[in-house]
């Protein structure tokens, strides 16, 4: 790789930059959603885009998630490349028919003739004190559906590279951004780059235990890994980056090397992403494992509002650290 | 303030003490919200809140026409609805602070106050999310013959949600006792409603044969008189209604929405606050009608302020739920 100029950008800025670059590159790319134009979304992720690209390409919609997501599907089939904005991941419920019965199936049902090059950007994550209808992490639902791809960036660098790939993909991609991460800063090269789907990223190399973490949980896992190092446990942190396609090979190889694995994801554990990844590891690395694969996800409750309750519902550096320590026999 | 004759008739029948109660309720909501804003500014409140200031006449006028057993569903901007239906400020503040003494034991917070004792089926943070619940409650009342009426409060932004039209159609078909109260405060978050709402709002109800009308939501007398008529109509089994109340929110979409000149001017805000304030104008009318006098109203403001302060103190001092509570009440 040639030497690249690197800046520190926030996660929100990296998302915005990916959109702006793709919109400059390809006039078919457009954005629709609630308060995406002048308001630039409540999280100010899209600020400035309407000024550059105009209201023809950055469209404020009514509060009609089912309607405009469906329009995204139709527009994608017929020559545009829409990026649909669903303000909170919780509102995915309203778009489910359009995503699951329409977007995901059009290509297959038409015998490979129609394509749906659409991206749906939305959020996940708790601990903003937003209560049960604004705090969910529902990416497992979409990862379950053949025909959809699901990206889960965990750093500004990944957000930019994965979003550019999502926009260029000819399939419907659901792109999850952790709300708590929008202000997180990280290095982003000035030069053009994309990140392929289905290729996991080793966020930290280690020997004793593998921690597979997605999206919001990657920082948590890295924090836990630092604490583990202090007690002499070397943790490897693997970020799958996309839950579908899933880089099974990297996950299995890491677990084979370390012989222990914990999977951490902010969605619910039951019937969820952690279960899927844990079984991939159990199947692929069975003979190398010294312990059953452990899953850590959100507590099986609607996310409560009250801070002391909300704080115990999601994995933290501390709980991941303790689980890993116990697993490595250091507790 | 001028009003139509049928409304004037209802208004003539209202006793002085009822007007005073109406005034007090509006003042209570205003001061409750002032305290909320202060709690937020002092970083004492977790999360955000959507203030109801400016829209008091809608909640109070409508709920004044309801019985305690009648149902309401509310929205993310719901403090006013809950208080107007009879919720007590101390348990409301406790909920806003996530305390165990709150209406939902701290699990719901600002956007999810619910209270069976006052017929409050719950505030909802999904725009349009309660339309089905409200209409289903009306179905129960009809089926069980209880005579209850349900009011579904929602902002004009919810007119974008398809579910609203599905249930309006059903309510009309089955003549259900439900009133859809649309609070048109001109904005869906940061976007003027004219950019999101095509055609005529009332025609949307009328198309299903739902009785539809609009009122000045800043005039509590008119809101009340109209609600009284629509509630009675629904109670008699004459079916659903859509009532659009034209109103205005004084603060940002939520407490953190401070710089809002990119979507609405300070001048516009100023005009609504000075010329169309529901509390000020109503007070002037009461004084003019000799229902009350300036000193008495001033005194009432003071009392309510003291009451709200005490309620806040109660909530601040109240304990948080224990972490184990997180796993309680997932299933009945
Ligand atoms: C289904 C859904 N989409 C989007 C949102 C985000 N949101 C919260 S309030 C709001 C605007 C609501 O406007 P309106 O219904 O007019 O109520 P107001 O805030 O003006 O009282 C939006 C878009 C949501 N809560 N639910
Ligand atoms: Mg509104």
Residues of B in contact with A66 (CB under 8 A): 162
Q: Does A226 score more than 70 pLDDT?
A: yes
Residue A109: count other Cβ atoms within 10 Å of its Cβ. 13
pLDDT of B7 reads 78
Coil, strand, or helix at residue B295?
A: helix
User: What is the C-alpha to C-alpha distance for residues A204 and B248, in angstroms, rounded to an integer?
Assistant: 53
Of B194, B169, B200, B183, the residue nearest B243 (C-alpha): B183
pLDDT means per 10 residues, chain B with 332 residues, are: 70 92 98 98 96 98 98 98 98 98 98 98 98 98 98 98 98 98 98 97 98 98 98 98 98 96 97 98 97 97 98 98 97 97
Of A232, A312, A230, A220, the residue nearest A262 (C-alpha): A220
Coil, strand, or helix at residue B292?
A: coil
Q: At what angle do helices B220-235 and B16-41 cross, to 10 degrees?
A: 110
Of A203, A167, A180, the residue nearest A127 (C-alpha): A180
φ/ψ of A261, rounded to 5, equals -145, 140
Residues of B in contact with A298 (CB under 8 A): none
Q: Quick one: pLDDT band at residue A58, thresholds 50, 70, 90? A: very high
pLDDT of A56 reads 96
Domain residue ranges of chain A, discontinuous segments joined by +: 8-187, 201-327
Tokens of A214: 């997605």
Q: Are B164 and B180 in contact (CB under 8 A)?
A: yes
Q: Are B202 and A48 in contact (CB under 8 A)?
A: no
Arithmetic mean of pLDDT, A46-61: 98
pLDDT of B12 reads 86
Of B214, B216, B225, B218, the residue nearest B280 (C-alpha): B218
Q: Quick one: pLDDT band at residue A3, thresholds 50, 70, 90? A: low
Tokens of A23: 């919109």
Residues of A in contact with B112 (CB under 8 A): 131-133, 305
pLDDT of B52 reads 98
Which residues, 6 or more positions from B331, have their beta carbon under 8 angstroms from its beta carbon? none
Q: Are A200 and A241 in contact (CB under 8 A)?
A: yes
pLDDT digits (tens, 9 = 90+) for A96-146: 999 999 999 999 999 999 999 999 999 999 999 999 999 999 999 999 999
Of B311, B293, B332, the residue nearest B88 (C-alpha): B311
CA of B128 to the centre of ligand 1 (A): 8
Mean pLDDT of chain A: 97
pLDDT of B2 reads 54
Beta bridge partners of A261: A210
Ligand 1, CB cutoff 6 Å, lining residues: A 34, 63, 65, 87, 91, 94; B 50, 76-77, 125-127, 155-158, 185, 187-189, 253
pLDDT of B31 reads 98
Max Cα distance, chain A (Å): 60
Residue A52: count other Cβ atoms within 10 Å of its Cβ. 11
* Cβ contact B111–A129 (<8 Å): no
3-state helix, strand, coil in chain B (%, to 5): 50, 10, 40
Coil, strand, or helix at residue B261?
A: coil
pLDDT of B149 reads 98
Of A117, A116, A134, the residue nearest A125 (C-alpha): A134
Q: Are B192 and B164 in contact (CB under 8 A)?
A: no
The residue from A134, A139, A144, A300 that is catalytic is: A134
Nearest CA in chain B to A308: B323
Taking the CA of residue B189 and the nearest CA in chain A, the distance in Å comes to: 8
Report DSSP letters for B129-155, one per residue.
Answer: TTHHHHHHHHHHHHHHT----EEEEEE
The fold of A201-327 is Rossmann fold (3.40.50)
Whats the size of chain B, residue-wise?
332
Helix spans in B239-331 (H): 266-275, 278-288, 294-317
Nearest to A63 among B109, B160, B330 (CB): B160
Measure CA A36 to chain center.
20
* Cβ contact A304–B128 (<8 Å): no
Tokens of A26: 């390809």
Q: Quick one: pLDDT band at residue A2, thresholds 50, 70, 90? A: low
Which of B81, B187, B188, B201 should be mutated for ligand 1, with most atoms under 8 A from CB? B188
What's the CATH code, domain A8-187? Answer: 3.40.50.970
Tokens of A192: 């053009």
User: What is the C-alpha to C-alpha distance for residues B111 and A197, in angstroms, rounded to an integer?
Assistant: 38
User: What is the C-alpha to C-alpha distance for residues B236 and B134, in angstroms, rounded to an integer?
Assistant: 18
pLDDT of A82 reads 98
Angle at A121 between CA A88 and CA A312, to 5 degrees: 45
User: What is the C-alpha to C-alpha distance for residues A225 and A317, in angstroms, rounded to an integer?
Assistant: 9
Paired sense of beta strands A242-244 and A149-151, if any: antiparallel
Nearest to B321 among A38, A300, A309 (CB): A309
**Cis geometry, peptide bond prior to residue A79 (ω within 30 degrees of 0):** no
Which of B52, B58, B76 should be mutated for ligand 1, with most atoms under 8 A from CB? B76
Measure CA B172 to chain center.
24
Nearest to B325 among A35, A133, A309 (CB): A309
The sign of the dihedral angle between the CA atoms of A177, A182, A187, A191 is positive
Q: Quick one: pLDDT band at residue A250, thresholds 50, 70, 90? A: very high
Which residues, 6 or more positions from B326, have their beta carbon under 8 angstroms from its beta carbon? A299, A301, A304, A309, A310, A312, A313
User: What is the C-alpha to C-alpha distance for residues A85 and A68, in angstroms, rounded to an integer?
Assistant: 9
Taking the CA of residue B200 and the nearest CA in chain A, the distance in Å comes to: 15
Q: Quick one: pLDDT band at residue A330, thresholds 50, 70, 90? A: confident
Nearest CA in chain A to B162: A64
Two domains, one topology: A8-187 and A201-327 = yes
CA of B161 to the centre of ligand 2 (A): 13
A144 flagged as catalytic: no
Q: Does A4 score more than 90 pLDDT?
A: no
Residue B205: count other Cβ atoms within 10 Å of its Cβ. 25
Query: Domains along chain B?
Result: 3-17+53-88+114-291 (3.40.50.970)
A155-183 core/surface letters (b: 16 or more CB in 10 A; e: else): bbbbbbbbbbbbbbbebbbbbbbbbbbbe
Nearest CA in chain B to A311: B323
């Amino acid at each position: 790789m040639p030497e690249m100029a690197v800046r520190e950008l926030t996660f929100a800025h990296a998302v915005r930059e990916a959109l702006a670059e793709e919109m400059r590159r390809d006039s078919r790319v457009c954005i629709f959603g609630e308060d995406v134009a002048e308001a630039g979304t409540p999280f100010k992720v899209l600020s400035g885009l309407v000024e550059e690209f105009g209201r023809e390409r950055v469209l404020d919609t009514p509060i009609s998630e089912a309607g405009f997501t469906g329009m995204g599907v139709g527009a994608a089939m017929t020559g545009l490349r829409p990026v649909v904005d669903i303000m909170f991941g919780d509102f995915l419920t309203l778009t489910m028919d359009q995503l699951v019965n329409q977007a995901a199936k059009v290509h297959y049902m038409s015998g490979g003739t129609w394509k749906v090059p659409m991206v749906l950007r939305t959020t996940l994550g708790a601990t903003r004190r937003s209560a049960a209808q604004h705090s969910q992490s529902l990416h497992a639902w979409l990862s379950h559906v053949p025909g959809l791809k699901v990206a889960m960036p965990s750093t500004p660098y990944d957000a930019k590279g994965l979003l550019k790939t999502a926009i260029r993909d000819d399939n419907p991609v659901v792109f999850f951004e952790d709300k708590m991460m929008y202000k997180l800063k990280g290095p982003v090269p000035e030069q053009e780059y994309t990140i392929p789907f289905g290729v996991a990223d080793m966020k930290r190399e280690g020997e004793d235990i593998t921690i597979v973490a997605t999206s919001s949980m990657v920082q948590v896992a890295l924090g836990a890994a630092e604490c583990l190092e202090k007690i002499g446990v070397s943790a490897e942190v693997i970020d799958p980056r996309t839950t579908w396609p899933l880089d099974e090979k990297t996950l299995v190889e890491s677990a084979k090397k370390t012989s222990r694995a914990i999977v951490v994801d902010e969605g619910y554990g039951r019937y969820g992403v952690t279960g899927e990844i844990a079984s991939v590891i159990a199947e692929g690395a069975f003979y190398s494992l010294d312990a059953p694969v452990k899953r850590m996800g959100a507590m099986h409750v609607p996310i409560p509002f009250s801070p002391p309750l909300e704080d115990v519902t999601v994995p933290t550096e501390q709980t991941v650290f303790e689980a890993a320590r116990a697993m490595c026999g250091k507790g | 303030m001028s009003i139509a004759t049928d409304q004037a008739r209802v208004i003539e029948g209202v006793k002085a003490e009822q007007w005073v109660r109406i005034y007090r309720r509006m003042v209570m909501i205003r001061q409750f919200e002032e305290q909320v804003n202060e709690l937020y500014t002092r970083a004492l409140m977790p999360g955000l809140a959507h203030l109801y200031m400016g829209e008091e006449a809608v909640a109070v006028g409508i709920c004044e026409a309801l019985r305690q057993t009648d149902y309401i569903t509310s929205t993310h901007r719901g403090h006013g609805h809950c208080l107007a239906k009879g919720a007590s400020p101390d348990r409301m503040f406790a909920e806003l602070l996530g305390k165990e003494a709150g209406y939902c034991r701290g699990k719901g917070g600002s956007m999810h106050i619910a209270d069976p004792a006052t017929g409050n089926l719950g505030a909802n943070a999904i725009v349009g999310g309660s339309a089905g619940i409200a209409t289903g409650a009306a179905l129960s009342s009809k089926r069980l013959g209880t005579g209850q009426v349900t009011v579904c409060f929602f902002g004009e932004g919810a007119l974008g949600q398809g579910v609203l039209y599905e249930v309006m159609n059903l309510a009309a078909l089955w003549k259900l006792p439900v009133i859809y109260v649309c609070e048109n405060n001109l904005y869906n978050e940061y976007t003027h409603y004219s950019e999101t709402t095509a055609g005529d709002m009332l025609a949307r109800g009328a198309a299903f044969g739902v009785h539809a009308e609009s009122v000045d939501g800043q005039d509590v007398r008119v809101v009340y008189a109209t609600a009284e008529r629509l509630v009675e109509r629904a109670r008699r089994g004459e079916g659903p209604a859509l009532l659009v109340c034209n109103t205005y929110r004084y603060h940002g979409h939520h407490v953190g929405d401070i710089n809002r000149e990119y979507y609405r001017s300070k001048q516009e805000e100023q005009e609504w606050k000075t010329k169309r304030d529901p509390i000020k104008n109503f007070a002037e009318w009461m004084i003019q009608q000799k229902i009350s006098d300036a000193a008495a109203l001033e005194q009432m403001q003071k009392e309510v302020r003291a009451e709200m302060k005490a309620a806040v103190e109660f909530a601040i001092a109240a304990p948080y739920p224990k972490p184990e509570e997180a796993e309680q009440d997932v299933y009945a």
